[in-house]
Amino acid sequence: MDVYPPIPTSQSPLKLVLRPTLQRQCLVIGGSRLAAAIVRSVLAANAVVTLVSQRLCKELAVRSARGEVGWLERQFEERDLIEKDLVFVVDEDPTCIVERCRQSRIWVSAVRHPDLGDFSISHEPVSEQDDIPTLSEPSQPQAPSRTPSPAPPRLPGSLTLVGAGPGSPDLLTLKALTALKTADLVVSDRLVSPAITRLVTCPIQFARKVCGRAREAQDEIYKWTLNAVKEGKNVVRLKGGDPFVFGRGGEEVLFFRKCGVECVVVPGISSSLAAPLYAGIPVTHRGVADQVVIATGRKEDGSAPTYPPYHPQRTSVFLMAMGCIDRLSKTLVKDLGYPPECPVAVIEKATCEEQRVVKGTVESIAGLVSGLGITSHATLVVGGVVEALAPEEDEWSDERSSVTVDMDVDDTWSSATVVND
């Protein structure tokens, strides 16, 4: 019989090691010299630090001005826990904060009351002298540095870039819903579903993006957002689908970073995948398609991008293609090898109550879309998968190009009714 050593009756603490490669998001509640000692320790582990405090000691004031830490100049609020991995409570009563952290399953350290927290952290002893100069004091002359210029000072508010998904509020992620519920201001794209914007309880501003003034509207979005963040507000930038799938999310992250605002990005379900699913179209299917290409129908100036060439095992999904569908369909056949009879589906307002599915061919789809007045908020799917799950041939109209399908999105796609024009 194996004999194992007994478990000690005294409770021994576990050692917490922060791996420098993981870049943990840490919240430090406090601005004292003790908080500065904690910050030095976590920064040494390559953590990203946000401070919450109405006042900062000299060291933390300098670190904030250099962009080494973010600073929310106020008392702690529950929304500060969003996207955080570790929390250090230094200068506020830890009782309620510890409870909130545990409800959110976030590890918390009550630095001045270690028995209340989940872990403790070793740090340098706190000196009575704070020898780092204040912003108004000149620092000692130093040799010229070859390091890059410091980042711009962090602004006091916060910014979350949220993907609203394809349209149905049921498809919002929990993280997206939490961000909307805790925002002070939401700046929303015009095409975000009204069913989702109705969930917003704070003030909301809509981007006025229309044809011909996209650049002016984007500048307006930047202005609204930056002004609110400078005021210390928690701003949500709400975008349709997924922010990083033809949503200019990357451009906005880079812009705000230059202005001293680091975005938290919450992904959304892209209509490039959700729309076909709600139309009963699998974008991959054994023996039919083993690859998917997601493309845009047009560039920002309206010109044609490089469209994907035809491959019999490929599904091509096009976003923002309704305004150029005639040019697109002709280019696919003439220049890129798509058979004129290649199956095509257009899913309008996918996942919403008004969802409509139109099926045709590369050759016929432009005429169908024009006749039905579909101009935006639609996804174009091209390839054999369009018919992969279709009923048997004799259940469909002989004229495939004249078939439209109205979907009841409260039921599954298999309960769709077929309406012949």
Out of 189, 233, 359, 407, which one is annotated catalytic? 189
Q: Is 209 a catalytic residue?
A: yes
Contact 397, 420 (CB under 8 A): yes
What CA–CA distance (Å, rounded) separates 166 from 269? 6
Catalytic residue among 58, 175, 209, 230: 209
Contact present, 43 and 49 (Cβ < 8 Å): yes
- Which residues, at least 6 apart from 50, have a Cβ–Cβ distance to it below 8 Å? 25, 26, 27, 28, 69, 70, 71, 72, 80, 84
Instruction: State yes or no: is 189 an active-site residue.
Output: yes
What phi and psi, each to the nearest 5 degrees, are found at residue 318? -115, 130
User: Which residues, 6+ apart, have CB-to-CB distance to 33 below 8 Å?
Assistant: 57, 59, 126, 127, 130
Place of tokens 């309206």: 302
Structure-token match 């430090």, residue found: 28
Catalytically annotated residue among 118, 130, 230, 320? 320
Q: What is the largest CA-CA distance in the chain?
A: 87
Active site residue 1: no
- One-letter identity of residue 72: L
Could you tell me the two tokens for 218?
């984007």
CB 110 within 8 A of CB 94: yes
* Lookup: tokens for 258: 């230059």
Phi-psi region of 284 (alpha: psi -120 to 50; beta: other; left: phi over 0): beta
Beta bridge partners of 344: 360, 382
Judging by DSSP bridges, how do beta strands 378-382 and 343-348 pair with one another? antiparallel
* Active-site residue set: 189, 209, 320
